[in-house]
Structure 1
Amino acid sequence: METGENDFDEAAFVETLTSATVAVGVPLTPEQTAQCVTYARLLLETNAHTNLTRITESREMAVKHFADSLTVLAAFPPGMGASVCDVGTGAGFPGVVLKIARPDLQLTLLDSLKKRLTFLDSVCAALHLQDVATVHANAVDAGRDPALRDRFDVVTARAVAALPVLLEWCAPLVKSGKRFVAQKSGNVDDELAASVDAAYALNVRLVDDRALTLPAIPGSDEPPATRRVLLYEKVAATPKGFPRLAAEIKRKPL
């Protein structure tokens, strides 16, 4: 396997992406695959001077960034044009990949670092993605902003914090009756147990818990990665006291 950060192997990426997306149940069209290639190239070019990802090998990127992002689509509600917010989007996973697969989505990419959003603006322009907004804010400030609170049909987050904290960050952004999808790695049973009180306080309930194994990475001795996709439904409005201040959330998680 290659190791150089800027040594993008397009053929290996496309071959791995094609098989991996079929394996996770979301095959891409040739046009969507080409968009992913452009995205991956831009990511590696920018990563050479701006820290966006530690995953830089072409096959590993195809599986752990792109195919992994698509595993949450099964949790999306039926219908077209859902409003989606990707919290702590980082380099744009899963948000941008979801937009590539589902161009009808109205996507908001939320992150606290401006340099990441500058990169994502350039990606969306290069891929000609429409109905994408980038928001420079942390999740606490976003959840207190009337323009963002109770706004989204689906909120996604990819392993950016422990589950009790993640719920307090994300639940306020979700419309009542709509969904929050958390992507977590490996065994999260302890986190789930620790998040029961948080879910109750925030008026969300766990409605699905999917364990899955990502496809193996060709040429790698690393065992296939395991994931948990946790689907929460917001059953009532978030109480006005949430989210609390960031320092309080950190000091005393729900």
Structure 2
Amino acid sequence: MNFKQFLQEEAAKAALVLDEKQLAGFERYFQLLVEWNEKMNLTAITQADEVALKHMIDSLTCLDPDVFLPGASVIDVGTGAGFPGLPLKIYREDLQLTLLDSLQKRLTFLATVLAEVGIDDVRLVHHRAEDGARDKKLREMFQVAVSRAVARLPVLVELCLPFVKPGGYFVALKGAQYKEEIEEAQYAISLLGGKLEKVQPVQLPGLEDIRAVLYIRKIKKTAATYPRKAGLPEKKPLLGEGS
């Protein structure tokens, strides 16, 4: 089977319906991912069936229609090779997407993908998350912030919640240790104005590992002191009093 057939098959198992335009967009994205990965480190996963499942379908598992409302403004923090933000945009054209990353060469790759797929309304932002969240044009300007495979949850909460408007959501796609990460992040979630509203376990077709999507609602504004300066959230996560 080729990539498009793998993707169509895995999407059906996940109860997702992809039309021809979406399939073509995902296929071109895959081709460019493999091509660019030969000259820069974008992903360790390059086989067609694995990219289809572990990158494309996995990214779409967070797409709760009660969170991603029609026309929602979405920022993907630390987007890397574009996951989960770009698959969400290919699947849902109405989303107003911003892709934020600290490396310009990754944004150059994403600009190429967007041009080749025919998407012209995605904003690319070159920033560390800590700096971007202090930019008045970005801070508390989004209905949804998403992040996948960037850092442990106590760190991610500090990096992502400041981008979210009160009433919006931070959506984290996490791996098998998500329960432990939730325990670690309780203090940070509360301190930064959030509330864990829903935990949605995810099992991708044919894989034994359990994943989960965490939906953290922003219930009040984040204090102006957060996020702390670049590098500090990772070095000294907000784990409790005195952290």
User: Which TM-score band applies after superposition, normalised by the shorter structure?
Assistant: over 0.9
Which residue of 208, 225, 229 maps to 1:241? 225
Which residue of 191, 215, 219 maps to 1:231? 215
1:57 aligns with 2:47: yes
- What letter is aligned with 1:251? K
- Give the structure-1-normalised TM-score: 0.90
- What letter is aligned with 1:186? A
1:127 aligns with 2:117: yes
- Give the structure-2-normalised TM-score: 0.94
Q: Secondary structure at the match of 2:2?
A: helix
* Structure 2 gap ranges (5+): 239-243
CA distance in 1, matches of 2:15, 2:169: 21
1:71 aligns with 2:55: no
* Aligned-pair identity (%): 45
Residue-by-residue CA offset, 1:181-202 (whole Å, 9 max, x unaligned): 0001113211111111101100
Q: Contact conserved, 1:105 with 1:131, CA < 8 A, in 2? A: no
Query: 1:251: how far off?
Result: 3.0
* Structure 1 gap ranges (5+): 1-10, 217-222
- What letter is aligned with 1:23? K
Instruction: State how 1:1-254 maps to structure 2 within 5 Å.
Output: 11-74=1-64, 77=67, 79-216=69-206, 223-254=207-238
| Residue-pair matches, total | 238
- What letter is aligned with 2:210? T
CA distance in 1, matches of 2:68, 2:107: 29
Q: Contact conserved, 1:85 with 1:152, CA < 8 A, in 2? A: yes
CA distance in 2, matches of 1:96, 1:78: 14
Q: Contact conserved, 2:146 with 2:171, CA < 8 A, in 1? A: yes
Residue-by-residue CA offset, 1:141-167 (whole Å, 9 max, x unaligned): 011111100010110000210100000
Give the RMSD, CA atoms, in angstroms.
1.3
Runs of 4+ in 1 over 4 A off after TM superposition: none
